[in-house]
Amino acid sequence: MIFRVVIIIIILALVYYLYRIMTGNSEYRKCQKCNGQGYWKATRGERDKCDICKGSGKVLR
Ligand SMILES: [Zn+2]
């Protein structure tokens, strides 16, 4: 039943990968000023780049 072992390894690798993504993103939080957009709409409708997060939409904790 080597096939079953391969399936288990793939699932474990996937879980570990998802865990790494979640913990990796915990260093950052959504920018409060632009609400994670990286820009906000100016009065005349043009996009102003957010100066807090430099347009990335997220800031370090
Ligand atoms: Zn921002």
Domain count, the chain: 1
How far apart are alpha carbons 30 and 16 in whole angstroms?
24
- CA 29 to ligand 1 center in whole angstroms: 10
Task: Please state the pTM of the whole predicted model.
Answer: 0.46
* CATH number for position 54: 2.10.230
Report the separation in Å between the CA atom of 40 and the middle of ligand 1, taken as the mean of its atom positions.
8
Classify burial at 2, counting beta carbons within 10 Å of its beta carbon; exposed 0-12, middle 13-18, buried 19 or more: exposed
d(CA 23, CA 31): 18
Residues within 5 Å of ion ligand 1 by Cβ? 31, 33-34, 50, 52-53
Q: Per-residue pLDDT tens for 40-51? A: 887 788 888 999
Convert the pLDDT of each residue in 1-23 to its tens digit: 889 999 999 999 999 999 887 77
- CA 20 to centroid of ligand 1, rounded, Å: 25
Query: 25 in helix, strand or coil?
Result: helix
The boundaries of the domain holding residue 7 are: 2-60
Q: 25 falls in which pLDDT band (50, 70, 90)? A: low
